[in-house]
Structure 1
């Protein structure tokens, strides 16, 4: 089953989703089926015969029209989440709650990705797996340098971040 990850959902302001129940209702009225949401941060599990690009556009336009939020929509399949979690390079010796996965649907410029993954970010670490960027963001970092906004700016992409534990839950949730 595909999963849509909404980028930029906020508890207040213009990118607020009032209730996940309402989000499910408006998306059900579109061409999506079997819609489920997981926590308030914008994770949608659904079925459709549309391509990922078509589904992403439909979700984006429906939310913008009905709610007014202008959110990027990243679509991934459950197998991609499973691979991303499995490939996590930050296991032994790392605090797992500080591991984040950054997903995009955009093509990544190889040279720029290589440049970023060898760059020194102090205590923070960045790697690129087959499905996403993996970031380790320790509490000791005085000021976070690695953020979704930073990666978007450096690579010219739209992306969204999820904690490793949430990505693992979404993977299991989507496979039910």
Structure 2
């Protein structure tokens, strides 16, 4: 199965730094994953594996921790899940797609208590719930952004990572080339 792995918590310096994506690719290949590709330094990996998603997440986390020392959260999605997320995007062409973000997590949406997000003042930001992810529209003119990974992780008690709509589109195109 084709998996898209998103690392949460990659930093440009310090203990959660990925030195080079070529090193990360090599680590994943050594772990037995096939057709490994990486995209941009923030931690996007594509590969094939016969393992189920929870085992993929555990293996990727362990290999990165052992080989690089970075203790990163690992979110794993299938090609189908990403395709559904892109197709369900609630923001039409009147929105600036460079400001549309998709929030991914390993839990099923049906398991999350979205009532915890009620009565949150979004100050012009928009949040929509899809079947595969949470969508955020973060306008440039938002004085103080409320919507971000830390906020959603605290409120929903999950590990999450955010990618721009355009990055997800690019990952799917990259994998198909």
Global fold match (TM > 0.5): yes
Match of 1:71 in 2: 72
Alignment of 1:89-104 (within 5 A): 89-104=90-105
Query: Whole-Å Cα distance in 1 between the matches of residues 112 and 106 of structure 2?
Result: 18
Q: Do the aligned partners of residues 170 and 162 (structure 1) sit closer, same or farther apart at CA in structure 2, a change above 3 Å counting?
A: same
SS at structure 2 position matched to 1:59: helix
Give the Å deviation of 1:111. 7.0
Query: Whole-Å Cα distance in 2 between the matches of residues 37 and 173 of structure 1?
Result: 10
SS at structure 1 position matched to 2:127: strand
Query: Whole-Å Cα distance in 2 between the matches of residues 109 and 50 of structure 1?
Result: 23
Give the Å deviation of 1:174. 2.9
Give the Å deviation of 1:54. 0.6
Match of 1:135 in 2: 136
Q: Do the aligned partners of residues 108 and 130 (structure 1) sit closer, same or farther apart at CA in structure 2, a change above 3 Å counting?
A: closer
> Per-residue CA shift, 1:85-143, capped at 9, x if unaligned?
11111113211111000000024466731452674412001011011000000011111
Match of 1:52 in 2: 53
Q: Indicate yes or no: 2:40 matched with 1:39.
A: yes
SS at structure 1 position matched to 2:32: coil
Q: Which consecutive unaligned segments of at least 5 residues does structure 2 have?
A: none
Match of 1:85 in 2: 86
Query: Whole-Å Cα distance in 2 between the matches of residues 29 and 92 of structure 1?
Result: 42
Query: What is the aligned residue count?
Result: 176
Give the Å deviation of 1:61. 0.4
Query: Whole-Å Cα distance in 2 between the matches of residues 13 and 123 of structure 1?
Result: 34
Counterpart contact for 2:8–2:161, Cα < 8 Å: yes
TM-score between both structures, scaled by the size of structure 2: 0.92
RMSD: 1.7
Counterpart contact for 1:117–1:128, Cα < 8 Å: no
Give the Å deviation of 1:83. 1.2
TM-score between both structures, scaled by the size of structure 1: 0.93
